Amino acid sequence: MKTDKNSIIGFVLLGGLFLLYFWYTGQQQSAILKIKQQEEDSLAKVAATKLKSLDTQAARIDSLKRDSAIRTTAAGSFTTAAIGTEQTIVVDNQVMTAVFTNKGAQIKRITLKKYKNGAGNPVVLANNNNVSYAINTAQGQSTTSETLFFTPAPIEKTADNSQIIRFSIDGANGQKITHEYTIKPDGYLIDWKLLMNGADKLLTNNTLNLSWNVATSQLERTATYERQVSNICFSEGNSFDYISSKKERTFEAAVQWVSVVQQFFNNTLIAGKGFSTGNINWERSTDTSSNLASAKANFQMKVDAAAINIPFQFYIGPSDYNILKKQAPEMEKIVNLGRDMYSFVRPINKYIIMNVFNFFSGFITNYGWVILLLTLFIRLVTAPLTYSSYLSGAKMKALRPELDVLKKKLGDDQQGFAMEQMKLFREAGVNPLGGCIPAILQIPIFFALYSFFNSNIALRGQSFLWSNDLSSYDSIVNFSFSIPALGNHISLFTITAVITSFLISIYNMSMTPTQDNPALKYMPYIFPFMLLFIFNGLPSALTWYYTVSNTITLLLQFVIQNYIIDHNKILLKIDQKRKAPKSKSKWQERYEQMMEAQKKVQDLKDKTNKNK
């Protein structure tokens, strides 16, 4: 067959169209198959998820069933108490709201009505408080009280407006356990009676093994400082003691009470008959969260009857000295008025500072002014020593011209100058250490007030001038970062205390002989600068006291030096003293002997060096 050129071109084009058609059709089929595969995968994934959810739910149900079976088995004759629903009972009095739970028949939470935390919300305590004990429920079976659901009875009110709530569980063998709580109308103390029928069968070896776990959380402005002052206090053998940094304590004598203490609040378990033995593990949190510390305690108590009635008490409230004193023997020592190396200030706080503070606060409502009056009282009591100090300073100032002559005469002979200076002071009747007495006296007073202001809950939340809380530092500048040794803020009361200390240092330098020793020469200026770092994180009550005390010091110095001390009379007395017969004290004799010995040694060294 004869084909022309046009026919060949037509066949080629027709073939190309067929190929294009087949390629396009294939691409569409691939896309359709891909979409279909995705749909099938999605449906499979959904089905797998549903199956997994069903499996998880089934596993959870199985786990609950197994847990329920285990608890039921462990409950033994108290089977009816093994499974239940948690119920809470709320009891109010004038100072707190107590929430009890039927699970374990214990305190679940205490909210204090008169106190706010650092965020301005009501203070909540015992939020992580758990108390339980082990009981035998059947042959070879035991459980703890915290796993059982008790049956609550209606709240009962007594004639004195106390409220009583009872929780109980009954065993199949006539055994019965009852927790009876009594809440008085105006106190933080909760009486707890543990009653058992069949205690000889319920308790192994007639011993109650009680476990008490407590975890505390931040209530004050900063968790770091509150964590630092948290500790465990207790009465062992009717004697107060405490642990702070130590993490474990095994009690060797009967324990009357144990308290988990925060800065201004505490959670205390009091045993009416005392625990015979026990131990406690105590640990502060090391993270930066609001958690402070946790305590795990185990106590043992012997019982001697089948039916027992064991009295306990919980004190969950403020660490107020006057309130704690009424709860249990030595519980007021929870308030840290001076311990360990600072225990010497406790009598000062207990018998002087606290009584004077309470006297002034009895008719003045603003605690800032109370602190001012307390400061005036302290300065009035120490006034005779202060006057003696200023008089000694005035005498030394009067002797300055003679000391300058001696300095010029002896030149670099420091030991010779010291000996001649001592002779001059002795002739004039001047005690060079007389000006140090008030400064030395300030040391115990400062540490006493440091302990008092840090632990006095009456100052908590009390505002004065620009300070919102006298129990904590005041802040006028806050940083987004922390400066080592200073913190993340600047306290204005700290600045006023530093400035007044600096002014006192300048005044004292003008009253003392010229000092060539660089260390001693610049110390009066270095000390106020150091106070900036020491005081910046302290309670504003303390820095306010220091400011007032320094201001009084400056005023007294001005008045005494310009209107009370007569410098002409001082010179006359010095002259009379020089003419009077001299008698050396043993201290002066020993000091002069020491200086003479040192001078001989120095002269020998100088002679040896000269010969070389």
What does the pLDDT look like over 46-70, one tens digit per residue?
666 655 554 556 555 555 455 555 5
Terminal-to-terminal C-alpha distance of the chain: 140
Instruction: Map 72-109 to HEC letters.
Output: HHHHHHHHHHCCCCCCEEEEECCCEEEEEECECCEEEE
Determine whether 213 is exposed, middle or buried from the number of CB atoms within 10 Å of its CB (0-12, 13-18, 19+).
middle
The tally of domains found in the chain comes to 2
Q: Tell me if 198 sits within 8 A of 305, measured CB to CB.
A: no
Q: Which two tokens stand for residue 234?
A: 């207790």
63 located within any domain: no
146 located within any domain: yes
Buried b / exposed e over 541-559, threshold 16 CB at 10 Å, is bbbbbbbbbbbbbeebbee
Q: Tell me if 192 sits within 8 A of 312, measured CB to CB.
A: yes
Cα–Cα distance measured from residue 352 to residue 358, given in angstroms and rounded to the nearest whole number: 10
Task: Say yes or no: 221 and 260 in one domain.
Answer: yes
Task: Say yes or no: 401 and 330 in one domain.
Answer: no
Domain that holds residue 219: 79-335
Q: The domain spanning residue 86 has which CATH number?
A: 2.70.98.90
* CA atoms lying within 13 Å on the CB side of residue 541: 31
CA neighbor of 515 nearest in space, from 396, 606, 430: 396
Determine whether 128 is exposed, middle or buried from the number of CB atoms within 10 Å of its CB (0-12, 13-18, 19+).
middle
Task: Say yes or no: 228 and 319 in one domain.
Answer: yes
Q: Which residues does 552 contact at the CB level (< 8 Å), separation at least 6?
A: 375, 376, 379
Distances from the Cα of 597 to the Cα of 175, 247, 416, 592, 611, angstroms: 89, 53, 11, 9, 21
Determine whether 78 is exposed, middle or buried from the number of CB atoms within 10 Å of its CB (0-12, 13-18, 19+).
buried
**Beta bridge pairs of residue 143:** 135
263 located within any domain: yes
Q: Tell me if 217 sits within 8 A of 133, measured CB to CB.
A: no
DSSP result, 329-381: TTGGGGS-S--GGGGGGHHHIIIIIHHHHHHHHTT---HHHHHHHHHHHHHHH
Q: Which two tokens stand for residue 448?
A: 């006493």
pLDDT of residue 516: 55
24 located within any domain: no
516 located within any domain: yes
Domain boundary among 315, 335, 355: 335
Helices (H) and strands (E) in the chain, counts: 16, 22
Task: Say yes or no: 163 and 284 in one domain.
Answer: yes
30 located within any domain: no
pTM summary value: 0.76
DSSP result, 120-153: SSEEEESTTEEEEEEEEEETTEEEEGGGSBPEEP
pLDDT of residue 29: 63
Cα–Cα distance measured from residue 263 to residue 277, given in angstroms and rounded to the nearest whole number: 28
125 located within any domain: yes
Cα–Cα distance measured from residue 383 to residue 129, given in angstroms and rounded to the nearest whole number: 51
Task: Say yes or no: 376 and 274 in one domain.
Answer: no
pLDDT of residue 64: 44
* CA atoms lying within 13 Å on the CB side of residue 83: 10
Task: Say yes or no: 210 and 105 in one domain.
Answer: yes
- 3-class DSSP assignment, residue 469: coil
What amino acid is encoded at 22 in this protein?
A: F
Task: Say yes or no: 418 and 544 in one domain.
Answer: yes
Q: What is the pLDDT of residues 225-239, one digit of tens each?
A: 888 889 999 999 999
CA neighbor of 214 nearest in space, from 160, 161, 252, 268: 268
11 located within any domain: no
**Beta bridge pairs of residue 181:** 165, 192
Cα–Cα distance measured from residue 227 to residue 245, given in angstroms and rounded to the nearest whole number: 11
- 3-class DSSP assignment, residue 219: coil
Cβ neighbour number for residue 35 with a 10 Å cutoff: 10
What H or E segment, with its residue span, contains residue 275?
strand 265-275
Cα–Cα distance measured from residue 489 to residue 481, given in angstroms and rounded to the nearest whole number: 9
Cα–Cα distance measured from residue 381 to residue 549, given in angstroms and rounded to the nearest whole number: 13
Q: Which residues does 592 contact at the CB level (< 8 Å), separation at least 6?
A: 419, 422, 423, 584
**Beta bridge pairs of residue 111:** 97, 124
Task: Say yes or no: 201 and 306 in one domain.
Answer: yes
Residues in the chain predicted with pLDDT less than 70, given as ranges, are 1-36, 39-40, 42-77, 387-421, 423-439, 508-524, 564-612
* CA atoms lying within 13 Å on the CB side of residue 433: 5
pLDDT of residue 142: 82
Q: What are phi and psi of 248, to 5 degrees?
A: -145, 145
Task: Say yes or no: 383 and 328 in one domain.
Answer: no
Domain boundary among 310, 335, 360: 335
Cβ neighbour number for residue 109 with a 10 Å cutoff: 18
Task: Say yes or no: 139 and 217 in one domain.
Answer: yes
Task: Say yes or no: 328 and 362 in one domain.
Answer: no
Strands 255-261 and 141-144: unpaired
Buried b / exposed e over 248-259, threshold 16 CB at 10 Å, is ebebeebbbbbb
Domain boundary among 317, 335, 353: 335
Task: Say yes or no: 182 and 282 in one domain.
Answer: yes
CA neighbor of 595 nearest in space, from 429, 423, 421, 416: 416
Cα–Cα distance measured from residue 536 to residue 554, given in angstroms and rounded to the nearest whole number: 22
Phi-psi region of 284 (alpha: psi -120 to 50; beta: other; left: phi over 0): beta
Q: What is the pLDDT of residues 244-278, one digit of tens each?
A: 877 889 998 999 999 999 999 999 999 988 999 99
